[in-house]
């Protein structure tokens, strides 16, 4: 995704009146009110509070979920929220007990004073949305505050493999595209030939080389994707045979450099399903250490695709791999039959588990368009935004479709 100038919403979102209710039912209503951000519940340290028709929410929880930096000054009893984008820095200062807020130096009135409930600073939800570009709706039936985050400029990687040619026009919209034109075969050998994940034939004047060159010319970094799955121990053979491994690494790096790629995406799946799982992790760490060194010597980036930590494949050491690779893609899909949207709780868990081992700036959320559709895609993207991950990786061009792409453009600057 290309850089953009984010425009903060200036219009007043008049939602306070939506929450007006009889004082006798205030406590019951507070217990019912929930908040959903980009289609997934947002946990809060304390319940939203309705006060004289105004809904107050814990400030820090919603701010950090929208990528806003928050700090508290005990001496002045003030809380400062700031968010920086290409237009500059937006800064809001709130004072406990006050109905005044300072926004970039100007004073604005709040519909209710800032207050503390169970250690959490509570502010009017409508004010927050005005300043940081979120949109807010109220579902009276479910008693939900529904928040949609503003467009953001996330790193995006698209996979171009198998049958992607018909959506090649989308390539310039991605920051990077991984071309799945190579694999490790059943003998553990690196190859660009075979029945799939192979170097494609030309289509008239359009050649694989011209696609790579055009991508780079349009500002998209082309990566060579190397695919394999350990169903016949093809990866294990490579990990355990040092001579074969050295040959494989040299072939991958040389191919990437000679063909004009700017990086390598390793999608080597299936480790840790059975057998000695600790050995699989150790061996794969060594493989990534070796290929990372050789790739970086050739000025190539290295991205590693990994099964999620809540999957059945435990042959991947996120902490070590995160230190060795430039970034990691969490393959947070294939939890079920891949015919329906992936379970949000599983995807959320995959992210939170990964964040315990790897810095957020190195984590990319993998999203499969074999599972998702125009109604579900932005909720998955919303999780990447909520946790402030580096970005998203879309599997794959050829599966996206115009409807889903249009929805993505509402939450990402594509």
* DSSP output for 249-270: HHHHHHHHHHTT-SEEEEEEE-
Mean pLDDT confidence for 207-233: 97
**Range 245-265 burial, b when 16+ CB lie within 10 A, else e:** beebbebbbebbbebebbbbb
Residues 225 and 355 in one domain: yes
Task: Mark which of 148, 164, 188 sits at the end of a domain.
Answer: 148
Question: Hey, how many other C-beta atoms are within 10 angstroms of the C-beta on 210?
Answer: 12
CATH of the domain at 369: 3.20.20.80
Cα-based torsion angle of the residue sequence 20, 22, 25, 29 in order, rounded to the nearest 10 degrees: -10
| pLDDT tens per residue across span 118-164 | 888 898 887 776 777 788 887 878 888 889 998 999 999 999 999 99
Q: What phi-psi label fits residue 22: left (phi over 0), alpha (psi between -120 and 50 degrees) or beta?
A: beta
- Taking 60 as the threshold, does the pLDDT of residue 1 lie above it? no
Cis bond before residue 73 (omega within 30° of 0):
no
Task: Mark which of 148, 163, 182 sits at the end of a domain.
Answer: 148
Element (H, E) at 378: helix 377-386
Q: What is the pTM of this model?
A: 0.89
Residues 133 and 41 in one domain: yes
More confident call, 314 vs 24: 314
Residue 288 to residues 99, 260, 284, 308, 357, Cα–Cα distance (Å):
55, 22, 6, 18, 17
Residue 134 within a domain: yes
Residues 198 and 49 in one domain: no
Residue 49 within a domain: yes
Residues 135 and 213 in one domain: no
Residues 137 and 255 in one domain: no
Highest mean pLDDT of the ranges 82-86, 106-110, 153-157 = 153-157
Residues 130 and 184 in one domain: no
Residues 136 and 165 in one domain: no
- Provide the number of structural domains found in the chain: 2
- Residue spans of alpha helices (H) in 218-343: 234-240, 242-258, 277-297, 318-324
Q: What phi-psi label fits residue 275: left (phi over 0), alpha (psi between -120 and 50 degrees) or beta?
A: left
Residues 140 and 220 in one domain: no
- Taking 60 as the threshold, does the pLDDT of residue 243 lie above it? yes
Residues 111 and 251 in one domain: no
Residue 4 within a domain: no
CATH of the domain at 116: 3.30.457.10
Residues 82 and 231 in one domain: no
CB 178 within 8 A of CB 157: yes
| pLDDT tens per residue across span 88-106 | 788 999 999 999 999 998 9
pLDDT confidence of residue 86: 63
pLDDT confidence of residue 174: 98
Residue 109 within a domain: yes
Residues 46 and 192 in one domain: no
Residue 9 within a domain: no
The Cα–Cα gap between 69 and 92 comes to: 10
Residue 8 within a domain: no
The DSSP symbol for 25 reads: G
Task: Mark which of 105, 127, 148 sits at the end of a domain.
Answer: 148
Residue 3 within a domain: no
Residue 189 neighbours by CB under 8 Å, 6+ apart:
244, 247, 248
Residue 364 within a domain: yes
Quick one: which of 326, 334, 287, 327 has its CA closest to 310? 334
Residues 96 and 205 in one domain: no
Per the structure, the complete domain to which residue 348 belongs is given by 155-411
pLDDT tier at 187, thresholds 50, 70, 90: very high
């Amino acid at each position: 995704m290309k850089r953009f100038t984010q425009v903060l919403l200036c219009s007043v979102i008049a939602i306070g009146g939506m929450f007006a209710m009889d004082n006798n039912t205030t406590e019951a209503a507070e217990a019912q009110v929930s908040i959903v951000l980009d289609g997934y519940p947002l946990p809060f340290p304390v319940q939203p509070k309705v006060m004289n028709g105004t809904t107050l929410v814990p400030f820090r929880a919603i701010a950090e979920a929208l990528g806003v930096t928050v700090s508290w000054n005990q001496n002045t009893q003030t809380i400062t929220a700031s968010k920086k984008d290409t237009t500059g820095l937006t800064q809001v200062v709130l004072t406990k007990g006050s109905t005044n807020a300072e926004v970039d130096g100007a004073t604005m009135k709040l519909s209710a004073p800032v207050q503390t409930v169970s250690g959490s600073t509570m502010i009017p939800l409508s004010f927050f949305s005005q300043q940081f570009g979120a949109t807010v709706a109220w579902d009276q039936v479910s008693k939900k505050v529904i928040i949609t985050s503003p467009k953001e400029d996330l790193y995006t990687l698209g996979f171009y493999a198998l049958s992607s040619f018909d959506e090649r026009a989308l390539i310039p919209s991605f920051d990077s595209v991984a071309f799945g034109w190579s694999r490790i075969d059943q003998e553990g050998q690196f190859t660009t030939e075979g029945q799939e994940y192979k170097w494609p034939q030309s289509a008239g004047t359009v050649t694989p080389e011209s696609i790579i060159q055009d991508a780079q010319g349009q500002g998209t970094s082309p990566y060579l994707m190397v695919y394999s799955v350990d169903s016949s121990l093809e990866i294990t053979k490579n990990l355990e045979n040092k001579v074969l491994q050295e040959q494989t690494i040299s072939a991958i790096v040389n191919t990437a450099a000679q063909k004009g790629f700017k990086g390598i995406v390793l999608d080597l799946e299936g480790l840790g399903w059975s057998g000695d799982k600790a050995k699989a992790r150790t061996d794969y760490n060594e493989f990534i250490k070796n290929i990372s060194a050789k790739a970086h010597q050739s000025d190539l980036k290295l991205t590693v695709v990994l099964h999620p930590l809540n999957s059945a494949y435990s042959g991947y050491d996120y902490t070590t791999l995160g230190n060795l690779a430039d970034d990691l893609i969490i393959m947070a899909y294939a939890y079920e039959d891949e015919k329906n949207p992936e379970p949000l709780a599983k995807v959320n868990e995959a992210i939170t588990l990964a964040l315990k081992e790897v810095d957020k700036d190195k984590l990319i959320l993998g999203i499969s368009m074999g599972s998702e559709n125009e109604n579900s895609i932005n909720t998955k993207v919303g999780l990447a935004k909520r946790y402030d991950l580096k970005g998203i990786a879309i599997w794959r061009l050829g599966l996206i479709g115009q409807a889903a792409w249009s929805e993505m453009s509402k939450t990402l600057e594509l």
